[in-house]
Amino acid sequence: MQTTVDALLDRYVVEILPTLSERTQRDYSRYTIPHLRRKWGPRIADDIKPREFGEHLYSSPKGRIQRTRELAPLAHAYSCGKGMWWLCEHNPLAGLKKPKNPPRDRLIADQEFLQVLALAPDTIGLAMLLALYTGQRQGDLLRLKWSDVHDGAIHLQQSKTGKRLAISLHVDLKRVLGRCWLLPGGGAQGGEYVICSTRGTRYSSEGFRAMFTRVQRAYARGGGTRWRFHDIRALAATRCDTPEEARRLLGHTTVAMTSRVYRRGVERVAALNHDRTPLLALPAPPRDGLEVRPG
């Protein structure tokens, strides 16, 4: 019996999808996988040639990155179907050249952060400050419980990577947590979550994102340029003294990821010291040559 793309996706949903992050599960279940089923579902998996996926991917310059992301779970399902479930003979997406996706380079200026902070309700503002001081993703901050704050640190396991971190508390971070404790429905009233609704319950990602979007719209109406909550993670990485310090704070495995995607500021470096060059003496420039003026 020949395996259809629908059959590959059925098994992917049962065996692979539950192992992914909560947000990825939600996005794949609601949007990506239904779209893949509509486009490719009834087709025999081994009958689809790489060219068909390539033509789909490069059908228009607009939306290439989105189409690349949509094909990611199908490529994973094909890989499992070939190498683990033995449901298909080849993976036509394995060698497909994907369009480059340049990393986002939006860096929030201090004044921009403060202006949005002034417009934000307490819950959003405190979440912004927590993101700045800890460098963590929105989802991980929304899951943070008071039971995770102990022994002078915030203890968490990142949902996307599984990385365990203990972020030590400094004075400003303690103050932010103190204000979170006093939020309506917060820890002082028996609430379980550090960032919580007035009923003490955890915000959903969609609910929190809608609140933050409203703040950003108000900021834009005042003449500001909108930015994303996730950009705060890049601001935290950029504010770290070194790429290695940023890598550890963000929980990345390699410093390359941190530097390429999240370190968005100007990297200041010292000019090479004269003592470390093989040129022991350089001739003086001619009097009518280029002069470097102070100032």
Output the 3-class SS for the chain: CCCEHHHHHHHHHHHCHHHCCHHHHHHHHHHHHHHHHHHHCCCEHHHCCHHHHHHHHCCCCCCHHHHHHHHHHHHHHHHHHHHCCCCCCCCCCCCCCCCCCCCCCCCCCHHHHHHHHHHCCHHHHHHHHHHHHHCCCHHHHHHCEHHHEECCEEEEECCCCCCEEEEECCHHHHHHHHHHHCCCCCHHHCCCECCECCCCCECCHHHHHHHHHHHHHHHHHCCCCCCCCCHHHHHHHHHCCCHHHHHHHHCCCCHHHHHHHHCCCCCCCCCCCHHHCCCCCCCCCCCCCCCCCCC
114 lies in the same domain as 256? yes
Are 145 and 225 within one domain?
yes
Give the structural domain span for 56: 5-83
pLDDT at 10: 97
pLDDT for 266: 84
Q: How many domains does the chain fold into? A: 2
The Cα-based distances of 271 to 268, 275, 276 in angstroms read 10, 12, 11
- Same domain? 47 vs 178: no
Q: Using pLDDT thresholds of 50, 70 and 90, give the confidence band for residue 285.
A: low
| pTM for this prediction | 0.80
Give the list of residues 6+ apart from residue 194 with CB closer than 8 angstroms, or none. 130, 141, 144, 145, 146, 148, 149, 177, 180, 186, 187
pLDDT, position 294: 58
59 and 143 belong to one structural domain: no
Question: Does pLDDT of 291 surpass 60?
Answer: no
The reported pLDDT for the residue numbered 99 is 85
pLDDT tens digits, 189-219:
999 999 999 999 999 989 999 999 999 999 9
Q: Tell whether 240 is covered by a domain.
A: yes
Q: Residue 41 falls within a domain, yes or no?
A: yes
| CA 88 distance to own-chain centroid | 33
> Residues 46-66: what's their mean pLDDT?
92
Q: What is the pLDDT of residues 218-255, one digit of tens each?
A: 999 999 999 999 999 999 999 999 999 999 999 999 99
In a domain, residue 273? The reply is no
Q: Flag whether pLDDT at 61 surpasses 90.
A: no
Co-location of 253 and 122 in the same domain: yes
* Shared domain check, 33 and 116: no
- Mark whether 49 and 114 lie in a shared domain: no
pLDDT-based confidence at residue 161 (cuts at 50, 70, 90): confident
Average confidence score pLDDT of the chain: 92
**Domain check: are 131 and 233 in the same one?**
yes
pLDDT at 293 (0 to 100): 61
Q: Are residues 72 and 190 in the same domain?
A: no
On whether both 74 and 165 belong to a single domain, the answer is no
For position 130, which CATH number holds?
1.10.443.10
Residues 170 and 135 in one domain: yes
**Is residue 281 a part of any domain in this protein?**
no
Residue 141 and residue 26 share a domain:
no
